[in-house]
Amino acid sequence: MVLTDVLDDDGEKVAAELAQAGHDAHYRRLDVADPASWEAARTAVDERFGKLDILVNNAGIIHETTIADEDLAAWTRLLSVNLTGVFLGLQTMLPLLKNGTNAAVVNTSSVYGPSGAIGYAAYGASKSGVLGLTRTAALEWADFGIRVNALLPGGVLGAMNEGEHSGGVLDETPLRRRAHVDELASAVAFLVSDDASFVTGTELVVDGGFRTR
C-alpha cells in the first residue's frame, strides 16, 4: 500500500508502524491539488505494483465563514484540495485502476454535502461536488468493473475540526459524540471489500444519526 499526505513526519510514522506490523506500506508526499504531484504518485505506484486495487480520496481542509464574508482565495484553495483533488485522483489513477483486481474507489464527502450548514459554504459546496463526481465515475467506470462510492462522515474526532464553534455538529448528533477514525476506517474497509461487490455509485453515511434530525 502507498500512503500519501503533505504531512511528511506523520506519513512516515504511520507507514513505519504498518511496515513493522508486516504490511507492505510506503509513504510518499502528495499535494492533491497539484497535477504533477499526482503524476509522480501514479508513476511510483505503477513501478512498484503495476496496478491499483483500491483508491481512497480522503484529503480535505475546512474553514468557517459566511458567504458574505468568504474570501475568494480561501474559497479557491479549499475547492482545489477538497474537490479538484478528488477529480485529479480519479483521472490520474484510472489507468492503474483498470489494471486492478476488483478495483474500488472511496471518495470522502461529508454530511454537509447533501445537508448544508451555515458558515460552511465552501466546504459544503466541495463535498456536494464530490458526490456528483462519485456518481458520474460510478456510471462511467462500471464497464471496467471499477466500483466508486462515497463516504459521508458526520462529526469526527480529529485535528481538522478542533476549531469548530461551540454548538456545532455535536449538538445536532443524536448519539451525542463524534466518530472515532477507526469507525470510518471500518466503513471504508467494507466499501472496498468483496462484501460490497454489488455496491457502486452510492453513499455510506456514518454520522451518528445527524441526518435523521
Catalytic residue set: 123
CB 109 within 8 A of CB 62: no
Q: Is 108 exposed, middle or buried (0-12, 13-18, 19+ CB in 10 A)?
A: buried
Alpha helices in the chain (DSSP H): 8-20, 35-48, 72-79, 85-98, 112-115, 121-141, 181-191
Q: How far apart are CA 40 and CA 44, in angstroms?
A: 6
The widest CA-to-CA distance across the chain, in whole angstroms, is 51
In the chain, the amino acid numbered 45 is: V
CB 108 within 8 A of CB 58: yes
